[in-house]
Structure 1
Amino acid sequence: MDLFIAYITSHHTPTAGILVVTDIFGFEAPVLRKLVDMLTSYGCYVVVPDFFNKDPYNHQALDSVEAAKGVLKCILDKGLLCVGAVGFCWGSKTIIVAEIDQTTPPTLAEKFSYVLKSKPEVESFVHIYPKVAHGWTCRYTHESPEEVANAAQAHNKMIGFGKYLH
């Protein structure tokens, strides 16, 4: 199994685990860590691996699929009842997608949603967020009330994801 450094945070008595896949700015981004810390309020053990090994420019999303499976297994080996995954940018194909995005355009997100909905045994949530561009949830202009409000709404949806894991 591949080894990664990771940011790990946890509720004091976690019952569910969450794998967070970062954007290109990696697992040390302050806004990301703040969001990840909030996920613990739902009784979660959260792992944010550095799948990039401190080199975000020489990786493709599929490069870490097997590694992600290993991280998920490690989370489940902790005896937690269930595990989920969320992501940003590079890992955004799992929950909230920007309407204005060439990396994961809405048509691709809709395909992911269709596949997820075809598996009723897997609870899922896909939302295409209107009028926002790629990376808006972690990289927005703090002085723009509209951008702050859009990011806050997306953050609340992501944090609320934790409730589906119980």
Structure 2
Amino acid sequence: MAHGKDKACEDTKPLIAALKSKGVKSIGAAGFCWGGVVVVKLAISTDIQAAVILHPGSITDDELNEIRIPVAILGAEIDNHFPPERLKQVEEMLSVKAEFESFVKLYPRVTHGWTVRYKDDDEAVVKSAEEAHQDMLNWFIKHVK
């Protein structure tokens, strides 16, 4: 696959190296859907210092168990890719890890992709997307220093 998650993760390595060569000491990465799977790969490698995954794609338990950095996972109530039951399982898995902080949040009445694909005239969804964006920024402010 030309755009596999392993290749996408490898494609970020030169960018991360360039940032570090310029003196950047701490890097955060956000991934939306499929991009969240790539961010998990980066979180496993510890090339980044904090991760946020919004309306995740397919992430395995094995991958989640390998994460070693602070991670936030923001999910939609109406999501066939990563349903609320799966989000709850992930929250339970991450909550027992004492070596890093995690944050899992379910956003009610929104669908998969709501943080980047929504109708501007749907006030409730816009508000939820803005809330998720603020939660993401707050996570990075806290963990990317």
The TM-score range, normalised by the shorter chain, is 0.5 to 0.7
Q: Tell me if the contact between 1:18 and 1:85 (Cα under 8 Å) persists in the aligned partners.
A: yes
Residue of structure 1 in register with 2:51 after alignment: 85
Distance 1:150 1:119, change over 3 A: same
Root-mean-square deviation (Å): 3.4
> How far apart are the structure 1 equivalents of 2:134 and 2:43?
26
1:70-120 CA-to-partner distances (Å, cap 9, x unmatched) read: 8643x4xxxxxxx01112334596511001111111111111111111012
> How far apart are the structure 2 equivalents of 1:89 and 1:130?
12
Distance 1:149 1:13, change over 3 A: farther
Q: Tell me if the contact between 1:21 and 1:91 (Cα under 8 Å) persists in the aligned partners.
A: no
Tell me the TM-score normalised to structure 1 length: 0.57
Stretches of structure 1 that go unaligned for 5 or more consecutive residues are: 27-50, 52-60, 76-82
Distance 1:131 1:69, change over 3 A: closer
Would you tell me which structure has more helix in proportion to its own residues? 2
Residue 126 of structure 1 and its aligned partner are, at CA, apart by 0.1
Secondary structure in 2 matching 1:132: strand
Q: How many residues align?
A: 120
Larger relative contact order (CA 8 Å, sep ≥ 6): 1
What residue identity is the alignment partner of 2:86? L
Tell me the TM-score normalised to structure 2 length: 0.65
- Equivalent runs, 1:1-166 vs 2, <5 Å: 3-4=10-11, 14-23=24-33, 61=37, 68=42, 72-73=46-47, 75=48, 83-91=49-57, 94-165=72-143, 166=145
Task: State the identity %.
Answer: 30
